[in-house]
């Protein structure tokens, strides 16, 4: 079986330039706020992962299937019309926080918000902090 090339890996693209290119000024401001929060929580500088993900830190994973790779411990992407936050531990175990978060949508490990003004930023920070705690336990930093 051919090994699949992982597309989402760290790049040398400037995070500042990527955020500056976000067309919507409100979303650009939100991206700068999220970046500052995630840098503070992780102690890691922002780095581009692939063409659109702003990530912080990294970890190595290996699935039972043998597939393995590296990914950021936490990250986000200002996409057209919404910002996606990547919380690797998923959102199922955070029902109480999710109920208090405000207007959002979810995927398995993705939190979608249109703008930070629609949510409680303190709750968002707690979700991110809990995700990072889970990551440190499951994938201890090297």
Residue 10 in domain: no
Residue 7 in domain: no
The reported pLDDT for the residue numbered 89 is: 87
**Do the beta carbons of residue 109 and residue 90 sit within 8 Å?**
yes
Residue 98: CB atoms within 10 A of its CB come to 16
Task: For residue 60, give the CATH number of its domain.
Answer: 3.90.1150.200
Residue 6 in domain: no
The reported pLDDT for the residue numbered 113 is: 97
The parent domain of residue 28 ranges over: 15-136
Residue 90 in domain: yes
Residue 3 in domain: no
The reported pLDDT for the residue numbered 108 is: 86
The DSSP-derived string for 25-74 is HHHHHHHHHHHHHHHHHH---EEEETTTEEEES-EEEE-TTS-EEEE-SE
Q: How far apart are CA 73 and CA 88, in angstroms?
A: 7
Domain count, the chain: 1
Residue 99 in domain: yes
Rounded to two decimals, the pTM is 0.91
Residue 36 in domain: yes
pLDDT digits (tens), the chain, 142 positions = 445 566 788 899 999 999 999 999 999 999 999 999 999 999 999 999 999 999 999 998 888 888 888 899 999 999 999 999 999 888 888 999 999 999 999 988 899 999 999 999 999 999 999 999 999 999 998 7
């Amino acid at each position: 079986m051919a090994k699949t090339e992982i597309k989402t890996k760290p790049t040398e693209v400037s995070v500042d330039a990527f955020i500056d290119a976000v067309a919507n000024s409100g979303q650009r401001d939100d991206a700068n706020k999220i970046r500052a929060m995630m840098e503070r929580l992780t102690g890691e500088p922002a780095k581009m992962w692939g063409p659109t993900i702003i990530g912080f830190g990294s970890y190595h994973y290996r699935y039972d299937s043998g597939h393995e790779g590296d990914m950021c411990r936490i990250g986000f992407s200002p996409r057209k019309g919404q910002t996606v936050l990547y919380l690797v531990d998923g959102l199922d175990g955070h029902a109480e926080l999710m109920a208090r978060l405000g207007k959002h949508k979810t995927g398995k490990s993705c939190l979608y918000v249109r703008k930070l003004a629609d949510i409680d930023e303190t709750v968002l920070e707690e979700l991110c902090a809990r995700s990072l705690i889970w990551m440190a336990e499951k994938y201890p930093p090297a």
